[in-house]
Amino acid sequence: MKIRTRLHIVTAASAAMVVIMALLVYWSQHRLAIANKAKNLADEIVSSVFERNTLRNDYLNNDNQRAKDQWFLKQNQLRDLLKSAPANLVSMSDREIFTDIQKKMEGSSAIFQQILTNRETIGIGVPRTSAAIEIENRLVAQLLLKFLDTIADARKLQVSGNELITSTQKTAVRVSLAIIVSVALFMTVIAWSISRIISKGIKNLQNGAAAIGAGNLHYTIPLTGDDEFASVAAAFNTMSGKMAESHSALEQDLVARKSSAKEIEGLNQELNHTVAQLQGANQELEAFAYSVSHDLRAPLRAMGGFSEALMEDFGDKLEAEARDYLDEIVIGSRHMGQLIDGLLTLSRSTRGELRHDRVDLSAMADCIRGELEKSEPQRLMEWYVEPGLSIVGDARMIEVIMRNLLGNSWKYSTGTAEPKIRVYAEMEGSERFYCVADNGAGFDMAHAEKLFQPFQRLHRQDEFPGIGIGLATAQRIVHRHGGTIHATGTPHKGALFSFSLPYGEE
């Protein structure tokens, strides 16, 4: 049986005991009230009988007519009292006594009436004969006997009432004691039973907790009964089983982690070795790029200078086809110089430690705008630079990004009616992007993957000059800052370049 059910039974039994006690109190009070009323009735009967006897003596000894009238008045009061008294005031055993009192009172009334008749027959003031006196004395003796019998019966009623009061009090005390003892025994048994269940359940839980704490995850509490502790024990056993499974899985995971750690350690060693090789390769590449750029510049300058000198000194003596060849040599040498400069710029974009500068991007865009307008003052361009743009990163490298993006927008807007360049910022999800947009030549998105590859161009050299190294440089700088850059465009409708620099953002 569940502890909750036992407690409900105790509560119900306690409520029942309280109800029984209340009923007992009500019964005893009712019985005591009846007994007191019966005793009071007996007391009033005794008092009235004594008063009536006194009035009788006063009349017989003094011939007091007023005493006679009061005797009849008292007799009528007694008769009315006995008639109006409730039947439940007298027990069944005392019913005959009550009836005898009524008969004796009626007999007393008849005897007293005979005495009055005897005296009225002789007349007032006439001496009574001995025979009359003898008759009156007999009647008085009979009346006295009736009086004594009535008093005796009334005394019996008094005794019966007292006995009823005493009996009721004793019964109430005995029943109350029996109820109290029964309740005490019942509560003791229930308390002992519940305490035994609770102590046993707590002990089992303590043993289980101690076993689990000692590392015995397979320990189970024995299930006995169907009370709440049995449910707790079942839940505890389920928990210990799951803990054992988790512990086994954890041990397997630890073994796997150790194996993985060894593998990772080996991979780290390989990675460190690879990084060292890459660092050496980068240093060699940087040295090679620096050496090549410097070694190539001298012959390029010589080739370009001698070609230009030949054109200046002997251009009028050369045929037209020879002059065209010389022009191609000059153009090629210049283009190769630009390629060398681009390689050096691309190489420098991935070298050096990044700085943590707060850059006013709006002011930087306005500065580059002024330089572009001075380079071609005849061009008309509508500019919009969002004020207050601020970014964190390496200021030198961010300037390279902005010069490449704004320079491309300026270059590819040549020949566009009402050209426009916009610099602004916008949110994409939770990331802030800085945008450079124009309405120039644009590009086909089918070839967008070539945009950020070095020396790859989407337009012919005769349309828009360039070497195809600017966007590749911008992408490397953005990636070094941990950001992303992407482009969208439509042919003859413009292009949009957006980049993010999470490096250093709060």
CA distance 104 to 184: 54
Q: What average pLDDT score do residues 489-504 get?
A: 84
Residue with tokens 């000198």: 309
Question: Any idea which fold 355-499 has?
Answer: Heat Shock Protein 90 (3.30.565)
Six-digit token string for 98: 């009550």
CA distance 334 to 466: 12
pLDDT score for 363:
94
Identity at 300, one-letter amino acid code: L
Q: What average pLDDT score do residues 195-202 get?
A: 74
Q: CATH: 3.30.465.10, 1.10.260.40, 1.20.1440.210, 3.40.50.720. Which one for 3-197? A: 1.20.1440.210
pLDDT score for 365:
94
Kindly write down the DSSP assignment for every residue of 255-287, as one continuous string: HHHHHHHHHHHHHHHHHHHHHHHHHHHHHHHHH
Query: What is the CB-side half-sphere exposure of residue 166 using CA atoms within 13 A?
Result: 6
H or E element, residue 429: none
pLDDT score for 348:
59
pLDDT tens across 103-135, in order? Answer: 777 787 788 777 777 777 766 555 666 777 787
Asked which of 237-251, 297-311, 486-500 is least confident by mean pLDDT, the reply is 297-311
Contacting residues for 315 by C-beta, under 8 A, at least 6 apart: 323, 326
CA distance 378 to 198: 99
Q: Is the pLDDT of residue 254 over 50?
A: yes
SS3 of 286-334:
HHHHHHHHHHHHHHHHHHHHHHHHHHHHHCCCCCHHHHHHHHHHHHHHH
Q: Which residue has the higher pLDDT, 56 or 225?
A: 56
pLDDT score for 499:
92
H or E element, residue 371: helix 361-375
pLDDT score for 341:
63
pLDDT tens across 91-107, in order? Answer: 555 677 777 777 777 78
Q: Is the pLDDT of residue 139 over 50?
A: yes
Highest mean pLDDT among 23-32, 340-349, 357-366: 357-366
Q: What average pLDDT score do residues 158-169 get?
A: 76
Nearest to 477 by CA among 398, 419, 424: 398
Q: Are 426 and 394 in contact (CB under 8 A)?
A: no
pLDDT score for 506:
45
Residue with tokens 């593998």: 263
pLDDT band at residue 496 under the 50/70/90 scheme? very high
Q: Which residue has the higher pLDDT, 115 or 395?
A: 395
Q: Which residue has the higher pLDDT, 361 or 136?
A: 361
Query: How many other C-beta atoms lie within 10 A of the C-beta of residue 285?
Result: 12
Q: Which residue has the higher pLDDT, 216 or 404?
A: 404
Six-digit token string for 107: 């007999």
Q: Which residue has the higher pLDDT, 241 or 390?
A: 390
pLDDT score for 504:
47
Q: Treating both helix axes as pointing N-terminal to C-terminal, what angle do 130-213 and 3-62 enclose, rounded to 10 degrees? A: 170
Q: Which residue has the higher pLDDT, 124 or 423?
A: 423
Q: Where in the chain are the domains?
A: 3-197, 355-499
Does the pTM exceed 0.85? no
CA distance 450 to 459: 11
Q: Is the pLDDT of residue 302 over 80?
A: no
CA distance 506 to 504: 6
Task: Print burial letters for 408-431: b (CB count within 10 Å at least 16), e (below 16).
Answer: bbbbbbeebeebbbbbbbeeeeee
Six-digit token string for 158: 């008094």
Q: Is the pLDDT of residue 362 over 90?
A: yes
Q: What average pLDDT score do residues 282-290 get?
A: 60
pLDDT tens across 429-473, in order? Answer: 888 999 999 998 888 887 777 777 765 665 565 565 655 677 888
CA distance 86 to 5: 49
Q: Which residue has the higher pLDDT, 396 or 186?
A: 396
Average confidence score pLDDT of the chain? 77
pLDDT tens across 328-346, in order? Answer: 777 666 666 655 665 666 5
pLDDT score for 502:
81
